[in-house]
Amino acid sequence: MTMADDDDDFLFQDEEEDDEADEGSELVPGLPPWQVLIVDDDPEVHAMTRLVMRKFAFQGRGLAFISAYSAGEALTVMRGENDIAMILLDVVMESDDAGLKLVPKIRDELGNRAVRIILRTGQPGQAPEDDVIAGYDVNDYKAKTELTARKLITATITALRAYHHIRTLERSCQGMERVAGVGLCHMAMSGSSAAAGAALDQMAEVLEQPADGLFCVIYGTDRLSARILAGRGRYQDAAGHPLATVADTGALATSLRGADELRHEFTDDAMTLVWPLTAQASGGGSDGGAIALLHLHLARPLDEIARRLALLMMMRIADALVTAWALEQARDPA
């Protein structure tokens, strides 16, 4: 095995000067750390990296390091972990190009395009930067002699920001696929009450939350008299009863009893979504319209992507409900 070079003595040469460089970022309790894989056959590099980055935080999250001492060990780690944000990868380990050979295995064999890979080498002449950047899907290249503490912090922030953007886009696409896959036509064909229950189930599934909520339609300004069409979880037996029987505290009460028009409400443990329905399809009301209301308790807060998916889903649910009413009227035009 080829051991790390004497050049490693220069690694993080200005760590004392930059020791407090990341103090401006504060950890937020409860947020999971970013996972970083260190791949290097020199234990000193692992220890120094952990020391320099011990106070690092980005977007309120610290770092959790995983160590691998060969390319083979790193590949095993990557097969078992699906949320490693960044790899600090040495070039020369069990062979002179072990790190380089690992890159296509991660990208092509494992299909992992999200993880950010930063190559670190003590022999830049053996793996010239231009050749590496052009020939391998890596995101940064650093010679160990130039990789100061400050530069490592900057490179890490850049890598984590890019990883976060990639994961955000992936989650958005996956969420859209789930919304697109919802059986809204079947929901509409099953009738309004069944559609309301299916709406709760589908919303919970799309958001990956427990099915624990209620669905109703409100006519006019007497909101608390609206009858619940469907309930799940703690509202399982609430169908057919007026909202006044369950709307006592929390986000639902805030939505219903506000002086202004109904609006969406999001808290850490619940959400209330409202959507207007056309007067003709909804059966009308004294004000000529109706509003669909979906209230769901949350096991964990929704981030911005999940909130947008919830609103998109609510719009589609409202359309399905209108269709269900139209079909019911067509079957029984009385």
pLDDT tens by residue, 253-291:
766 766 567 788 899 999 999 888 864 444 443 344 688
Which part of the chain is CATH 3.30.450?
Answer: 183-331
Using CA atoms, how far residue 2 sits from 6, 69, 100, 270, 276, in Å, is 12, 12, 15, 56, 68
User: In whole angstroms, what is the distance from residue 207 CA to residue 203 CA?
Assistant: 6
The predicted model gives 27-55 an average pLDDT of: 92
Q: Are 295 and 270 in contact (CB under 8 A)?
A: yes
d(CA 242, CA 222): 11
Residue 10 pLDDT > 80: no
Higher pLDDT, 107 or 221: 107
Contact 52, 15 (CB under 8 A): yes
pLDDT (0 to 100) of residue 273: 92
Which of 71-75, 111-115, 265-269, 326-330 reaches the highest mean pLDDT?
71-75
Averaged pLDDT of the chain? 80
Is 294 a residue whose pLDDT tops 90? yes
Predicted local confidence at residue 2, as pLDDT:
38
Distances (CA, A) of 68 to 42, 43, 99, 194: 10, 10, 12, 53
Do 72 and 24 contact (CB within 8 A), yes or no? no
> Which residues face 230 on adjacent strands?
215
The winner for highest mean pLDDT among 137-141, 187-191, 307-311 is 307-311
So what's the pLDDT on residue 330?
Answer: 64
Q: How far apart are CA 242 and CA 235, in angstroms?
A: 12
**Cβ-based burial of 257 (10 A; exposed 0-12, middle 13-18, buried ≥19):** exposed
Cβ within 8 Å of residue 169, ≥6 positions away: none
If you search the block for the tokens 């052009």, which residue do you land on?
A: 134
Check if the beta carbon of residue 5 is closer than 8 Å to that of residue 32: no
Q: Does domain 183-331 have CATH number 3.40.30?
A: no
The dihedral built from the CA positions of residue 275, 280, 282 and 284, taken in this order, carries a sign that is: positive
Parallel, antiparallel, or unpaired for β 84-90 and 265-266?
unpaired
Estimate the share of the chain in helix, then strand, then coil, as percent rounded to the nearest 5. Answer: 45, 20, 35
6-174 belongs to which homologous superfamily?
Answer: Response regulator (3.40.50.2300)
- As a whole number, mean pLDDT of residues 52-59 equals 93
69 residue type, one letter: Y
Domain with CATH 3.40.50.2300 in the chain: 6-174
**Taking residues 109-119, what's their average pLDDT?**
93
Average pLDDT (102-119) is: 93
Is pLDDT above 50 for 298? yes
What is the phi/psi pair of residue 34, to 5°?
Answer: -70, 135
Cα 252 from Cα 200, distance rounded (Å): 15
Distance CA 176, CA 173 (A): 5
Helix runs in 105-191, H state only: 129-135, 149-180, 184-189
DSSP state of 58: B
Does residue 288 sit in helix, strand or coil?
coil
Helix (H/G/I), strand (E/B), else coil: 84: strand
Give the pLDDT confidence score for residue 284 in this predicted structure. Answer: 40
Could you tell me if 70 and 95 are in contact, meaning their C-beta atoms sit under 8 angstroms apart? no
Pairing of strands 213-219, 228-231: antiparallel
Question: What span, in angstroms and rounded, lies between the C-alpha atoms of 157 and 22?
Answer: 10
Q: Is the pLDDT of residue 18 over 60?
A: no
Q: What per-residue confidence (pLDDT) applies to 152?
A: 93
Dist. CA 34–CA 165, nearest whole Å: 14
- 258 token code pair: 């506000």
